[in-house]
Amino acid sequence: MTPVSTSTATVDKDWWRGAVIYQIYPRSFQDSNNDGVGDLKGITARLPHVARLGADAIWISPFFASPMKDFGYDVSNYTDVDPMFGTVADFDALIAEAHRLGIKVMIDLVISHTSDQHAWFAESRSSRINPKSDWYVWSDPKPDGSPPNNWLSIFGGSAWAWDARRMQYYLHNFLTSQPDLNMHNPQVQDAVLDAARFWLKRGVDGFRLDTINFYFHDKQLRDNPPLSPERRNASTAPAVNPYNFQDHIYDKNQPENLEFLKRFRALLEEFPAIAAVGEVGDGQYGLEIVGQYTSGGDKMQMCYAFEFLAPEPLTPQVVADTQAAFRAAAPEGWACWAFSNHDVVRHVSRWGAEVVDRQAFAKFLSAVLLTQRGSVCIYQGEELGLTEADIAFEDLQDPYGKEFWPEFKGRDGCRTPMVWDSLAHHAGFSNGETTWLPIPVEHSLNAVSVQDGKEGSVLEHYRRFLQFRRQFPALVKGDIAFHIVSDTQLAYSRLLDGQEVLCLFNMSPAEDRIALPDGEWDMLEGHGFEAGLDDAKAILPGWGAAFALRRQTV
């Protein structure tokens, strides 16, 4: 194997701090072979869009060999590309083109579980005495034949599935076809680290680690205690899911994970300028775990919890409280924030159901996200202001949605194909007969072709604001200090090495005036928002923003 060159530019080990990472869901980005499903060649062809947007990196959701029961998050071979997406050679070409365009490449690594069709599991389930018999979490039943404890699957029902060959239960925190690896076994740790090393040698710049807090389970298999109703938080699972009724102190979030994450970080340090961001899936202890996983400089560079992915409305207080809670939990850590991804309702719909001017709302939210202290993930289509698609049950693909329909409709509404050309077949996503998910008409009307070059469009706003952001190091890597947090007004500064950028937001549809903090300020332009200034107060239209630079005194 010939490793792909990581970059011709000077190595910057700190590139991830304040980076804007564009998430690509490969099934839905671009189809190059007309089968209605996106693929690696399609991603490569569309990388200029990402480069022009101004993102620093891409995160590609899983493209490994998989039976696709959970659309790639059930891996059957960690070191091969699923034929649906192409070949390893196609991935090498993608890496080369991304690096040519100055884009880092991060890939989604799913090592808490595999597919039940992985060769490791096939061997493990064959007997109780084979070399991989302890590579997954197996347990005898209780005397009455029931599962060993009360742990629940996020996808519904018990987290234990019976296997007739071994006459034992195996653990699955997700689908029954996604058995959990036994990370207490050092051989399993070695195997998943070898899988990561395979892709590092091919030139990837980092990883997004799926469900990072699920890697280890309690060896004693103790029951989870119940969670009181007032502590239930639907950010990990939809409110209709009984998973929220337990306090998950034994089936995940185990202290042994810290030592493994040190091993993982040591592997990253063998290569130049590699970064990892971990997904912490926990509604009660998310930020506390983020603090643990990013502390000490020897584990994860970044993690994210679900605070900004939750259904609760985004308010000035939520923004301030989230930043304060992160600082308290992770004083040494660095966050990676997102408002949308492939698992949650798109934020323009999630928070803007009653908003009249969705375009202004989308632009406003982008500015809030892109001025937070931390790195940022943008989910494909977010830069077009796309709303959540309404998918009919007969078109539904997501097993999660099928299980809890109609109270929870699953994740397909945010996974519909990207819209490139409003006049082209399937909006330019595919020339095939059908697409794996339908493309809403309202999405086609907001395609890249419609917004490209159009003054005031959401797409042009994202491009402009990302360019504006890069001009001020304080907005990228600086600290944050809050000035005003009211029902509708939000004001904070980003500060770095003597530079202070003031960010003012009117989080309401009506015009408002926001006072500037004491001092001398120069109002900034070039960010896409219009604001007036009167008697040291910024005059902001509904869903408006303004930015100012504190004048340096000699």
Strands (E), 339-409: 375-379
**Distance between CA atoms of 27 and 417, rounded to whole angstroms?**
8
In angstroms, what CA-CA distances link 289 with 39, 281, 440? 34, 10, 38
- Give the Cα separation of 529 and 124 in Å (integer): 58
State the DSSP H helix or E strand holding residue 370, giving kind and residue range, or none if neither: helix 358-370
Nearest 10 degrees: CA dihedral of 211, 164, 187, 62? -40
Look at the block and give the residue holding tokens 């493209």: 63
**Which 3 state secondary structure label does DSSP give 393?**
helix
**Radius of gyration over every alpha carbon of the chain, rounded to an integer in angstroms:** 23
Strand pairing of 336-338 and 375-379? parallel
481 sits in which H/E element: strand 479-485
Q: How far, CA to CA in Å, does 37 sit from each of 29, 61, 391?
A: 8, 14, 17
Identify the sign of the CA torsion 193, 199, 202, 204.
negative
In the block, tokens 């360019």 appear at 467
Residues composing the chain: 554
**Ramachandran assignment for 150, one of left (phi > 0), alpha (psi -120 to 50 degrees), beta (any other):** alpha
**Beta-carbon contacts of residue 150 (< 8 Å; ≥ 6 apart):** 223, 224, 246
Q: Tell me which of 31, 108, 210, 251 is the catalytic residue.
A: 210
HSE of 331 in the Cβ direction (CA atoms, 13 Å)? Answer: 1
Quick check: helix, strand or coil at residue 152?
strand
- Reported as type and span, the H/E element at residue 288 is helix 286-293
Distance between CA atoms of 552 and 319, rounded to whole angstroms? 28
Q: Reduce the DSSP state of residue 475 to 3 states and report it.
A: helix
Helices (H), 135-230: 186-201
Distance CA 347, CA 386 (A): 9
Cβ atoms of 381 and 442 closer than 8 Å = no
Residue 440: count other Cβ atoms within 10 Å of its Cβ.
20
Specify whether 210 is catalytic: yes
d(CA 157, CA 224): 15
Catalytic residue among 270, 332, 394, 497: 270
Which residues belong to the active site? 210, 270
